[in-house]
Amino acid sequence: MKKVIILGGIGNGSVIAAAIQDANRRGHQEYEFAGYLNDRYNKNELIEGMPVLGKIKDAKRFANDGYYLVNTIYRIDGQQERIDLFESLNVPDSKLATFVHPFAYVAPRVNLGAGCVVMPNASISPGCSFGKCCLIMTGASVGHNTTIGDHCHFAAQSCISSFVHVNNGVHVGLNATIREKIILGTNS
């Protein structure tokens, strides 16, 4: 199994860690959750029972040591600052874990960028394309032929219709619905 470290912690980070562990219990063994990189906790402190392995700035070192990374350092306000922080780490795309929970539906001919996460009961229809480091949370639905930029977050139960263009850094909140043929601007 590939060892994966989550950049972040309580919130999206701990929810995704639990989903990786759940997938393991169900026989899906691609990734094994190793711990967190987090700037608010000290090394060896625990988040939801799992260790903090270092600070966010340590990401490239861990990637060079063979770990795979998932970026969960999202914030509704100040998203560009978080994207800039992640990009400054210079983690190669080849070291970003793309995780799809076994209870998610991802249609054939969907392109998931490096570091994307698709959580249980999420649904992604044919012809969709995602940039890197997108989080598609539990129960989110993305309609066919939709194009998604980098670092987008689709909260639980959000619904994106078809032929939507979502630019970089977009957050679609809990239970939000986006109708067809809409363009969502950068960091909106």
pLDDT single digits (tens) 36-89: 999 999 999 999 999 999 999 999 999 999 999 999 987 667 788 889 999 999
Two tokens at 180? Answer: 């067809």
Cα-Cα-Cα-Cα dihedral sign, residues 16, 77, 92, 49: negative
pTM of the model: 0.95
Domain 2-95 has CATH 3.90.1150.10: no
Q: What is the structure's pLDDT at 43?
A: 97
What is the predicted pLDDT for the residue at 76? 65
Low-confidence ranges of the chain (pLDDT < 50): none
Cα–Cα separations (whole angstroms), residue 42 to 4, 37, 39, 53, 85: 19, 9, 7, 8, 19
Distance from C-alpha of 50 to C-alpha of 92, rounded to nearest angstrom: 25
